[in-house]
Structure 1
Amino acid sequence: MGTGAPTTAPGGPEAELTTLVGRRADAARVRELLSAARLVTLTGVGGVGKTRLALRVAGDVARAFPDGVHLAELASLREGDLLAQSVGAALGLANPGREGADATEALVAHLRDRRALLVLDNCEHLVDDCARLTGTLLRAAPGLRVLATSRQTLAITAEQVFPVAPLPVPDPQHPCAPRDIRACPSVVLFTERAAAVLPGFTVTETNAAAVARLVHRLDGLPFAIELAAARMRTLTPAEMLDLLADRFALLNGGSRVAEPRQRTLRKLIDWSHALCTPAERTLWARVSVFRDGFDLEALRQVCADDGLPPAALVDVLGGLVEKSVVVHRQQDGRSRYGLLETVREYGYERLAASGELAASRRRHRDHYADLTARAQREWFGPRQAEWFARLRRDHANLRAALEYCAERPGETEAGLALAVAPRHYWITAGSLAEGRRWLGRLLGGDGDEAGERIGERIDTARPLALATHAYLGVLLGGTADTLRELDAAAAVAEACGDVPAAAWTRHHRAVLATWQGDADTAGRLLAEALTAFRATGRLDGAVECMVKLAIVHAYAGDAERAAALCREVEETSAAHGESWLRGIARFARAVLDAREGDPKAAIAAAREAIGLMRPFDDWWDIAMCVEVIAWSTVDDPARAARLLGVLRLLWGAVGGNLETAPFMRERHRAFEETVRAALPAARFERALRSGAESTVAQALAFVLDEPPAVPRARVDGRTGGPLTRRESQVAELVAEGLTNQQIATRLVIARSTAENHVERILTKLGFTSRSQLAVWTHDRRMREGRPADGG
């Protein structure tokens, strides 16, 4: 049995063997906390970089502690009774327990009149002992500061906790240029470590996408990224991605001089698992069935049983949060919980080994099936936006539930019900192609048995699923086969006696007729569907048919009928607290105003419609509103050209190969020809690119004539507010390329003061480099209309 003697650093922490990447803002914030608090604890999941950050901060502040910075590395210490002796060894005490005094008293005597920083690294497995000793030392030695790292807080008075987050990663849903990928901290780390084993490695056009996906799959965990980089001796990033199905086998090439628990990813997570109570281990396994987070309701529905009753779940969950296994955050005023993918996969392995996997996945499916059914019942009402936001947060869980239904024999019916409730989710969520894929996969699961099953159950979800699958195809612009699909859906609905599904099929065929310019057929089918919905008491369907009829009449030139329908839809929707169809009614009003020759009224109505649609991320209908706004600005060709670029951006976000809504295409092309003719070719192309290459937020700000969003780097809850006057001066000088010494000379301040200003600015803005600050400053000058030289 060894003492687990820690690393001793009488002159301060050891020199760093490799650079610390992406932690500038974190280090500045921890230094700030340490200047005000006597105990700061860095918490976070294993492998996130707590120790590296603590050592960097300790090195940065060493000059403030004349009696030294001392590191006590506790990972290998197993006996709490030996903690004080181990800390004494870190302080350089030859015999902390000499002359009969216990080790704690010797530490108190040594530290009582000293100004020192004690770094306690890896406290989690001795958290109670560390808490007691730290409390004793801080009370006895007023000049002592303690910087601790732990997967769990010490939970003593005056402790300041700093959660260390994983490094930022590229968003695979929004691919960006290799230049931007290379600047992402997680990619910078991978590149540096990969170049160490494969000299000359860099991120290129060829490998950028694979590297971005790789660091994203690794959760931005520095330890996992470094293990992956070490594999560059034998594998490419793309090959590593293929092998990540078993990341614990792949990532096992750590340093030979590291602690055993730090040599492989599995051993690192094993260490966290060993610190958990039996109940916490059980819950860790069960929550691994969730994808991308969960709330308390889901926790109770999916994870509770006789062994873990609902009343005990919150306390057990709290233990996992304290141990940095589960991440807690607040979203829209409610608690939401999640696991890093690496931690989730570890728990999922444990869940499978326990024999509970199938039952957990079924409970998970049942919960989200119930959730979507409730959302459908309350969709046409005041909770519409709330339900959409809730389903959007759980999009990954809906996918997992659909996967379960698609993979399990006999679950097709449940999967179809899940895929069509609420009916508008795939449309408003901008996931047309995904919704169609899921429906296609589930409908294909029935194969040739479809005809035999018609009539078995009147409440089957199949008729509505067939109709919805076809409708999503219509919205994606592919009309060659959709009429046949709609005919098949109508036949199944009629055979089953499913009146609402048959009515929706008529609605969808009417939309297709509108796409094809057949207003008479569209009007007739919508009127038939409206009658059917009213007869069955389906108010949501009736109102949707009314608003589509309003659009058809507006295009057919029947302004009086279109206006009357818009009023009825707006009044009905407002009376029920509904927003989405009310927004479409405002769009219909905008179309009507545009055809009536009132561009100002058309722009105002379309902007109101966008305001109602934005909470739903309904890019399809928002794009149609922007079409009307664009047409109404034809007298301002430069603005109109930029709006054409915005339209390219928005229709691209919808998916498919659309350039505009089919029934608006002729007007769109005539408008574009008019704008092109009004501007020199180079100017038109510049304006077009300006709109097409902006972000969606910037594009909507331009459409709505709102102030543009300030370009910022990643900003989180630890960043500060706006720059002070002095900080703005310093930012300008950084943008001019001045060094800290040159800034100090220009402003007649000390160099250390200039350094502090730069660090604080970078922290406030969430930047990691002076070049980012320079770009930001340049953009701010442009927004304020100042010349590029800052004058």
Structure 2
Amino acid sequence: PTLAVPEAAGTAGRADGQTDAVRLFAERARAVLPGFEITDANREAVARVCRRLDGIPLAIELAAVRLRALSVEQLLERLDDRFRLLTTGARTAMPRQQTLRSLIDWSHALCTEQERLLWSRLSVFSGGLDLEAAEQVCSGGGIPPEDVMDLVGGLVDKSVLAREEHRQSVRYRLLETIRQYGRERLRESGEEAELRARHRAYFRDLALRARHDWYGPDQVAWFARLRADHGNLRTALDSALPSSGSSPYAPGPDGVRDGLVLATALCFHWIAAGALREGRAWLARLLAAAPEPSLERAEALCVQARLAVLQSDFEEADALLRECRELGEALPDPPPAAPVAYVAGLAALMRHDLKEAVTLLGEAADGHRAAGEESGVVNALMYLATAHGLLGDDDQAIARFKECLARCEARHEHWFRSYTLWMFGIETWRQGDPARAIEMEQEAIGLKQPFDDRLGVALCVEALAWMTADASAERAATLLGASQESWRAFGGPLFGYLEGYHDAAEAAARERLGARGFAAAFRKGVELPPGDVPGYATGHEKRRPRAPRTGEDSPLTRREREIGALVARGMSNKEIAATLVIAQRTAEAHVEHILCKLGFTSRAQIAAWVAGQGPAAQDHAGG
């Protein structure tokens, strides 16, 4: 079985020592390089080696042997060709355990012919897949669609595919080492170009479906689906580029067009996922690869301009919109004018050109309404309402905001509703009702959380800072600090038409707290983990649970208390599994549950907690 690996940068040297994979690497490294230790200088490189090798014990052992000639950093650089690198095992081991390739060859030989074929085809996926994707992309040519489910089950049984629970669905994942082996087999079969094209077409169609259904009750499910498939979306986009570095196969004009359609259809995904930089980068590369006049190019230019506006890159946005308009005039079947008017209107609003914003956003709302594009109507109306409010036309602003909320409620829609509440809250605060305004901002944050919409949360947090500056200068300063960090990650400055409110709130908080007090409160916000910001802003901060007593008051199950006692004795997950006659992965899962329930981050903390419970807890493993 694979070993636990460090999940993220900086976790290789936690208080519990190291993960099982890192410990194995260190032990095997010392066998060939006496005196080897995990240090601050090599800790992250070792962690990355273990992650790249998926925690596969044999792969880690073979990699450690290479330290005879390489540093850890050099070893990491060479893992792209791992089957050639990891070839020196113990001479006394069975042949299949002497090289990584021999081990995978042996596993491959145990599969049926159809399972081997599916294995190679599944290698075009990145980061996992679901059954629908496997059936659509991998069936045909020796694999009937109706056989895919049983073949997937067979690969799961043989541990070639890992089964993962995702909310109410199941996904499957190839370990990277297994995927690379399958990709070699796919390349040898001559099917790689066809499978890459089918993969790209599948995710193009998936993105188009997501865009069509985005405005409605399935919005959260679609967002979760796209986020889970973010690796596949990147792979599909990469395969559309003629200069793709991952394969020698050129996609052709149709492939580039597929990529352009895919990147454009992901507009809301780029925004909601906080991936504006990435979206702009893909669109720029694809637009450069497809310079010919086309409807797809015009639509991509408009989305690229929209993302640029959100990052306040107005010069770039102006150039993109200008080309989009010129292209629309030249095409026999021009794209709708409403999306361009919307982006231009949003840019005018952010530049504080309010009259121009009202004109353009009004045109966008009317155009979308005539075309029956409900999401476009709401999107334009909520910014049109904001422009009216800033111009002092309060009645028009409130009427537009209420219309937006009514339209969203009728479709059980949450994302646009959350943005409407953010802007409506600011207008309500401006009209002298801060209590109601704060409620609206906090409701908006709650609606944004299923999307992990960090841009949207940052906007609401910023607004809450203005609204609380009079009542609590310290809280306002903390909120300003948290908002600043979110904007920094987002990659753009605060929207221009909001800067006056920000400056006034900051000045008021500084005056009341003094320079030192403001700096301390602001730093507290800066240091808030992104995941804790919504809780702080809504008054639902995460609190670490107090260490409970064992027995009836403990949050741990009997089995978890038993495993906690074994952890306190210094046992590894493997030793716990052997002692209790359970699978090692089961033991690992129990340990993770214990850490989560007690609010701990290390095995050492579990041991200290058990010690604090008295002899009864420490002896629990024997009872």
Output the TM-score relative to the length of structure 2. 0.84
Q: Deviations over 1:740-762 (max 9, x none)?
A: 79xxxxxxxxxx9xxxxxx9995
Q: Could you say which structure has the larger radius of gyration?
A: 1
Once residues 681 and 774 of structure 1 are traced to their aligned partners in structure 2, the CA distance between those partners, rounded to angstroms, is: 44
Give the match's secondary structure for 2:338.
helix
Once residues 223 and 662 of structure 1 are traced to their aligned partners in structure 2, the CA distance between those partners, rounded to angstroms, is: 56
Query: Is 1:641 the counterpart of 2:470 in the alignment?
Result: no
Once residues 304 and 610 of structure 1 are traced to their aligned partners in structure 2, the CA distance between those partners, rounded to angstroms, is: 43
User: Structure 1's 648 and 235: CA in aligned 2 closer, same or farther, altered over 3 A?
Assistant: farther
Once residues 425 and 416 of structure 1 are traced to their aligned partners in structure 2, the CA distance between those partners, rounded to angstroms, is: 15
Query: What is the CA-CA distance between 1:209 and the residue it aligns to?
Result: 4.3
Q: Which residue of 1 aligns with 2:501?
A: 667
User: Structure 1's 432 and 488: CA in aligned 2 closer, same or farther, altered over 3 A?
Assistant: same
Q: Which residue of 2 aligns with 1:364?
A: 199
Counterpart selection for 1:653 from 489, 496, 502 = 489
Query: Is 1:565 the counterpart of 2:408 in the alignment?
Result: no
Q: Is the 8 A contact 1:566 1:589 kept in 2?
A: yes
Once residues 91 and 10 of structure 2 are traced to their aligned partners in structure 1, the CA distance between those partners, rounded to angstroms, is: 37
Unaligned runs of 5+ in 1: 1-43, 49-165, 713-719, 742-751, 753-758, 779-791
Query: What is the CA-CA distance between 1:776 and the residue it aligns to?
Result: 8.4
Query: What is the CA-CA distance between 1:196 and the residue it aligns to?
Result: 4.3
Query: 1:618 is aligned with what amino acid?
Result: D
Once residues 365 and 684 of structure 1 are traced to their aligned partners in structure 2, the CA distance between those partners, rounded to angstroms, is: 51
Query: Is 1:765 the counterpart of 2:594 in the alignment?
Result: yes
User: Structure 1's 490 and 247: CA in aligned 2 closer, same or farther, altered over 3 A?
Assistant: same
Query: Is 1:585 the counterpart of 2:420 in the alignment?
Result: yes
Once residues 680 and 536 of structure 1 are traced to their aligned partners in structure 2, the CA distance between those partners, rounded to angstroms, is: 55
Q: Is the 8 A contact 2:263 2:283 kept in 1?
A: yes
Q: Deviations over 1:278-335 (max 9, x none)?
A: 1111111111111111111111111111521112111111111111111112222222
User: Structure 1's 415 and 641: CA in aligned 2 closer, same or farther, altered over 3 A?
Assistant: same
Q: Which residue of 2 aligns with 1:469?
A: 304
Once residues 270 and 710 of structure 1 are traced to their aligned partners in structure 2, the CA distance between those partners, rounded to angstroms, is: 48
User: Structure 1's 722 and 521: CA in aligned 2 closer, same or farther, altered over 3 A?
Assistant: same
Q: Deviations over 1:429-459 (max 9, x none)?
A: 111111111100100113xxx3xx43xx5xx
Give the match's secondary structure for 1:327.
strand
Query: Is 1:722 the counterpart of 2:555 in the alignment?
Result: yes
Q: Which moved more, 1:176-185 or 1:403-412?
A: 176-185
Once residues 111 and 338 of structure 2 are traced to their aligned partners in structure 1, the CA distance between those partners, rounded to angstroms, is: 55
Counterpart selection for 2:233 from 376, 387, 398 = 398
User: Structure 1's 740 and 431: CA in aligned 2 closer, same or farther, altered over 3 A?
Assistant: closer
Counterpart selection for 1:511 from 346, 352, 355 = 346
Once residues 377 and 332 of structure 2 are traced to their aligned partners in structure 1, the CA distance between those partners, rounded to angstroms, is: 19
User: Structure 1's 201 and 563: CA in aligned 2 closer, same or farther, altered over 3 A?
Assistant: farther
Query: What is the CA-CA distance between 1:497 and the residue it aligns to?
Result: 5.9
User: Structure 1's 254 and 679: CA in aligned 2 closer, same or farther, altered over 3 A?
Assistant: farther
Query: What is the CA-CA distance between 1:691 and the residue it aligns to?
Result: 2.4
Once residues 367 and 288 of structure 2 are traced to their aligned partners in structure 1, the CA distance between those partners, rounded to angstroms, is: 29
Query: What is the CA-CA distance between 1:205 and the residue it aligns to?
Result: 5.3
User: Structure 1's 581 and 770: CA in aligned 2 closer, same or farther, altered over 3 A?
Assistant: closer
Query: 1:435 is aligned with what amino acid?
Result: G
Percent sequence identity is: 42
Q: Which moved more, 1:264-273 or 1:473-482?
A: 473-482
Q: Is the 8 A contact 1:510 1:526 kept in 2?
A: yes
Once residues 337 and 209 of structure 2 are traced to their aligned partners in structure 1, the CA distance between those partners, rounded to angstroms, is: 23
User: Structure 1's 685 and 465: CA in aligned 2 closer, same or farther, altered over 3 A?
Assistant: same
Q: Which residue of 1 aligns with 2:444?
A: 609
Q: Which residue of 2 aligns with 1:424?
A: 268
Once residues 740 and 356 of structure 1 are traced to their aligned partners in structure 2, the CA distance between those partners, rounded to angstroms, is: 53
Q: Which residue of 2 aligns with 1:261?
A: 96
User: Structure 1's 482 and 422: CA in aligned 2 closer, same or farther, altered over 3 A?
Assistant: closer
Q: Which moved more, 1:702-711 or 1:324-333?
A: 702-711
Give the match's secondary structure for 2:252.
coil
Query: What is the CA-CA distance between 1:397 and the residue it aligns to?
Result: 1.0
Query: What is the CA-CA distance between 1:462 and the residue it aligns to?
Result: 0.6
Query: What is the CA-CA distance between 1:518 and the residue it aligns to?
Result: 1.4
Q: Which residue of 2 aligns with 1:353?
A: 188
Output the TM-score relative to the length of structure 1. 0.67
The number of aligned residues is: 573
Q: Which residue of 1 aligns with 2:277?
A: 433
Query: What is the CA-CA distance between 1:339 and the residue it aligns to?
Result: 0.9
Counterpart selection for 1:242 from 48, 60, 77 = 77
Give the match's secondary structure for 1:294.
coil
Give the match's secondary structure for 2:215.
coil
Q: Which residue of 2 aligns with 1:443?
A: 287
Q: Is the 8 A contact 1:167 1:222 kept in 2?
A: no
Query: Is 1:409 the counterpart of 2:252 in the alignment?
Result: yes
Q: Superposition pairs for residues 550-561 of structure 1, below 5 Å? A: 550-561=385-396
User: Structure 1's 559 and 247: CA in aligned 2 closer, same or farther, altered over 3 A?
Assistant: same
Q: Which residue of 2 aligns with 1:160?
A: none
Query: What is the CA-CA distance between 1:199 and the residue it aligns to?
Result: 4.5
Give the match's secondary structure for 2:222.
helix
Counterpart selection for 1:335 from 165, 170, 186 = 170
Structure with greater helix share of residues: 2
Once residues 597 and 774 of structure 1 are traced to their aligned partners in structure 2, the CA distance between those partners, rounded to angstroms, is: 55
Query: 1:765 is aligned with what amino acid?
Result: I
Give the match's secondary structure for 2:159.
coil
Once residues 530 and 219 of structure 1 are traced to their aligned partners in structure 2, the CA distance between those partners, rounded to angstroms, is: 50
Q: Superposition pairs for residues 6-21 of structure 1, below 5 Å? A: none
User: Structure 1's 711 and 463: CA in aligned 2 closer, same or farther, altered over 3 A?
Assistant: farther
